Amino acid sequence: MRYFQKSDVCASVVQGIRKWWSALPPNKKELVKEAARRNKWKIVLGLCSFGIIFITFYFTHLEETPITGRPRLLVFGKEHFAELSQMEYNMWVEECKNKMLPETHTLYQVIEKVVRLLTESNKDVPQIAEFNWTIHVVEDPSINAFVLPNGQIFVFTGLLGAVSDVNQLSFILGHEIAHAVLGHAAEKASLTHFLDFLSVIILTMIWAACPRDSLAILGQWIQSRFQELLFDRPYNRTLEAEADRVGLQLTAKACMDVRASSVFWQQMELFETIQGHPRVPEWLSTHPSHENRIKHLDRLIPEVS
């Protein structure tokens, strides 16, 4: 449920209740108030029961993240999320169909070799063996690569110009494979689903408490920004750090030089400085800053070497 859809639902519900209340004659209003006073404990009990159901739902849908063992909320089944992954895959194929490099291309073969090395060296990891890894190399200057939840690997040729050697490429692909292996996409979708439901309750309370619609709109904007800055973005940074950790482990098992991981991010930091790219504070970003990422990787390297 998107932000404006949520706010529209909440606004419609509360405005409907306001209109209904305004249309009631004074004697009916008093009867409603009296009924509410008589049944206040039933109302409190109902709200508490709803809260207990909400909390129970959360804790009964907690699972351990593969490899790391971190507890996380997961409400989507594999079959349901597989359908969503296929839709996303079809979208990317349609968007990039005229820019795909053939399997005979040198760059494709380089990436295929690295992916094969990573997956075969880590085939003892059950989640690695579950996937049918498929490679798509897109001729595009973007410095980007990602792996869809169904094992479809997309690498943009711009990334190959940004890495210095196969060790750096191995770490980047290991990081992206780690996202798929850890099920981060399903986890984020599950949490978004859960928070959307919670947000509807909070936004309804905001609209109900504010006497004017303008104040309610301001209140819901503040609530949205607080959720984004205090929860959504830090949570995404946590997932990125976890993918760095697992990606480093996958790369080390492939007998690649894991020290190249922090060197790559040093290069990216230097490149962005030279290009004059504005530095976004980490707390405003969904990814760790280059500086903190380098420090994190440097702490992890001795553990996997």
Contact 103, 167 (CB under 8 A): no
Q: Give the C-alpha separation, 7 to 223, whole Å.
A: 11
Q: How far is CA 116 from CA 170, 186, 254, 285, in A?
A: 10, 25, 10, 32
Active site amino acids: 176
User: Which pairs with CB-CB distance under 8 Å and at least 24 residues apart come from 68-73?
Assistant: 68/182, 68/242, 68/245, 68/246, 70/242, 72/187, 72/190, 72/191, 73/187, 73/190, 73/191, 73/194
Strands 71-73 and 134-138, by their bridges, are unpaired
Q: Give the C-alpha separation, 210 to 206, whole Å.
A: 6
Q: How far is CA 170 from CA 91, 124, 144, 165, 176, in A?
A: 26, 18, 14, 9, 10
Phi, psi of 63 (to 5 degrees): -135, 160
Contact 108, 135 (CB under 8 A): yes
